[in-house]
Amino acid sequence: MNWFGRPKKAAGASAVSSTSSSGRGGSAGGGGASSRTGTANTVVGLRENIATQEKREQHLEKKIEQLTSEAKAKMAKKDKKGALFALKRKKLYEAEIDKIANIKMTLETQVMNLESAAQNAETFKAMNAGKDAMKNIREDTNIDRVDDLMDEIKEEMEMADEISNALAQPIDPLLTDEEDLLAELQELEAEGVEEQLMQPTKKGEEPMELPDVPSAALPTIKNATKEEEEELRQLEAELAGL
């Protein structure tokens, strides 16, 4: 039985004339040209879709930057609830970018597979033509080869179904770990404090006054041990160097 469920014919049972064989070859050549055109159009469509996904990805990245700035601004105003909401929206956009990356990978894989399949088809046709010339075979392809080809197509279709099912799995973007968000809020708050510390002193503000370094020798300690006296001498030397 072949892939379609029909019984296979014997290898030498079918015989066709050279005229019908040449006519069938001409029609097959026309079908091959149509197939090449269809493959090229499909590849162009896939590449356009990839470009569209990239534009959407850039748009979402800008949204993420805006939400990050918004979260920092709300933290500066002590609006933790608003900052937390902005971060949740940011996580939604980040999850969408991850999905776009997976879709782009699938599209690029399809483009490569189509180009490779088209090249393999052309190679197969050239090899098959050489075989026909050497063996003077009237038929381009026998049923066994068709069965093998259909088996391969079936495997590719199953693989495509698996990829589609994987992409169609539901993702709940609201199941975000609140502890991670709170940790990120603390990081933003720490960044704000650090920025305030790094700002230069404004005009009108008096600089902090520090006590003067004593110039006189330190007083001696009665009944001091040798170690304490040595420490006092080292301290006097450090103060003299300031």
At 98-150, the pLDDT tens digits run 999 999 999 999 899 888 888 898 899 998 888 777 776 556 667 777 788 88
Percent of the chain topping pLDDT 70: 64
Q: How far is CA 218 from CA 81, 140, 222, 232, in A?
A: 57, 109, 13, 8
- pLDDT at residue 1, rounded to an integer: 47
- pLDDT at residue 185, rounded to an integer: 80
Q: Indicate the SS3 state at residue 242.
A: coil
Q: How far is CA 15 from CA 123, 139, 235, in A?
A: 26, 9, 112
Q: Which of 31-35, 42-46, 172-176 has the highest mean pLDDT?
A: 42-46
Answer whether residue 62 shows pLDDT above 90: yes
Judge contact between 206 and 212, C-beta under 8 A: no
Report residue 61's pLDDT band, with 50, 70 and 90 as the boundaries.
very high
- pLDDT at residue 4, rounded to an integer: 45
Report residue 224's pLDDT band, with 50, 70 and 90 as the boundaries.
low
- pLDDT at residue 25, rounded to an integer: 45
Report residue 95's pLDDT band, with 50, 70 and 90 as the boundaries.
very high
- Cα angle: 95, vertex 101, 102; to 5 degrees: 95
pLDDT digits over 139-198, tens only?
666 777 778 888 999 999 898 888 888 887 766 555 556 677 778 788 888 877 667 666
| Model confidence, pTM | 0.38
The contacts found for 10-15 with CB under 8 angstroms, 24 or more apart, are: 11/142, 14/139, 15/138
CA 147 to chain centre: 38
Is residue 110 exposed (0-12), middle (13-18) or buried (19+ Cβ within 10 Å)?
middle
Answer whether residue 218 shows pLDDT above 80: no
Q: Which residue has the tokens 């990120």?
A: 184
Token digits of residue 200 = 């230069």
Judge contact between 196 and 115, C-beta under 8 A: no
